[in-house]
Amino acid sequence: MSRPAADGSVLIAAAQGGDHDAYGRLVAPHQAALHALCYRMLGSAADADDALQEALLRAWRGLRRFEGRSSLRTWLYMIATNSCLKMLSRHDKRFLPVDYGPSVGPEGSPGQAVEGSLWVEPHLGLGAEPLDARPSPEARYDERESVELAFIAALQHLPARQRAALVLHDVLGFPGEEVATMLGSTVASVYSALQRAHKAVDDRLSPPSQQVVLREYGKDKLCRLAGAYVEAWERADVNALVKLPTEDVVLSMPPLPGWYEGRENVAQFLRRSPFRAGGRWRLVETRANGQLAFANYLWDASAGRFMPHSVDLLSLSGAGVKEITAFLLPERFPGFGLAPQLEPAGP
């Protein structure tokens, strides 16, 4: 028998009395949006998991002190933001390879993996639906656009408190006064931080956003591009694949620091590395950061099946694929909701 719905005040009172189930029901509607906040702040879904877990534990422990002077939503966002700020104080900022060092030539190596909490990481599925959709005059960035990889990477170049102010005010639409309270700051300081953050982010973003481009492509054109990308990989057909990118396409492969720029440089790398003789691939279309993406599986003869290799996240322009970011994170496939392996006759 299902439990009857309870309004917020009833659930808060029950949770303050120690009812774990009531607390779970109270915070459940906010968790996806809180996780997205943490991901924007930290640039890593795994770090966002940790920050959100800490925030929800802190909220549970402090719930008896919640007096309703702000909304529960505002209170939870304040706790989550401060969990992220605490985590950022212990970690260096994250990069994409294009911000880490210069491109390598056509014969150059992408180098050895640089491990650790260094790289911006993808978030599969995020951005498929509005995360916290509310009309707000304070919001400057569309929520779907604000989880795109370029936006996440741009945020990582901001000082932590500027980052928090921008996300809370310009993405989530909290008024400056509320942001100041959440950050323990003044309204003047918040707007000063926003002014600096706007310039820094805008300097790193080149419109249009991927959401605009995807709408312009439309379902049929996007389906044809995705099918051509999969077919070229699975046939190891470099000539077919390099018809899809723009002339100045960029290919990077975090955690490898090196990256390639230009269609011919990318083609030469593909011929001598992933498409070398004997390499067999299977691709599964997915979405990451609201963008077109593919889970890449490489044939493992010893295992007799296709094993996880990378997640290719594509950035598009009207002329084709302008950037391929191939995240070499095979160990994360289960956490991303991807199959841990593909059988030869699998989907």
Mean pLDDT of the 115-136 span? 75
Mean pLDDT of the 241-256 span: 96
Give span(s): CATH 3.10.450.50, the chain.
210-332
| Res 304: pLDDT | 94
What's the pTM value of the predicted model, to 2 decimals?
0.92
Top-level CATH class of 9-90? mainly alpha
CA distance 71 to 67: 10
* Whether 321 contacts 315, CB under 8 Å: yes
Tally: H helices and E strands in the chain: 12, 6
What is the arrangement of strands in the sheet containing 281-288, beginning at the earlier edge strand? Answer: 259-261, 245-252, 320-327, 305-317, 291-300, 281-288
Residue limits of CATH 1.10.10.10 in the chain: 149-207
pLDDT exceeds 80 at position 200: yes
Distance between CA atoms of residues 60 and 24, nearest Å? 10
Name the helix (H) or strand (E) containing 209: none
Distance separating alpha carbons of residues 249 and 320, to the nearest angstrom: 9
pLDDT at residue 3 in the model:
45
Domain(s) labelled CATH 1.10.1740.10 in the chain stretch across 9-90
The fold of the 210-332 domain, in CATH, is Nuclear Transport Factor 2; Chain: A, (3.10.450)
**pLDDT averaged over the chain?**
91
Residue 130: predicted pLDDT = 55
Q: What was the pLDDT predicted at 155?
A: 97
Helix axes 187-204, 176-183, angle to 10 degrees: 100
Q: Does domain 149-207 have CATH number 1.10.10.10?
A: yes
pLDDT digits (tens, 9 = 90+) for 10-46: 888 888 888 899 999 999 999 999 999 999 999 999 9
User: Could you give the residue ranges of the DSSP H alpha helices within 205-326?
Assistant: 210-234, 238-241, 263-272
What's the confidence (pLDDT) of residue 85?
97
Instruction: Say which range, 19-28, 76-85, 309-318, has the weakest mean pLDDT.
Output: 19-28
Region 239-267: mean pLDDT is 96
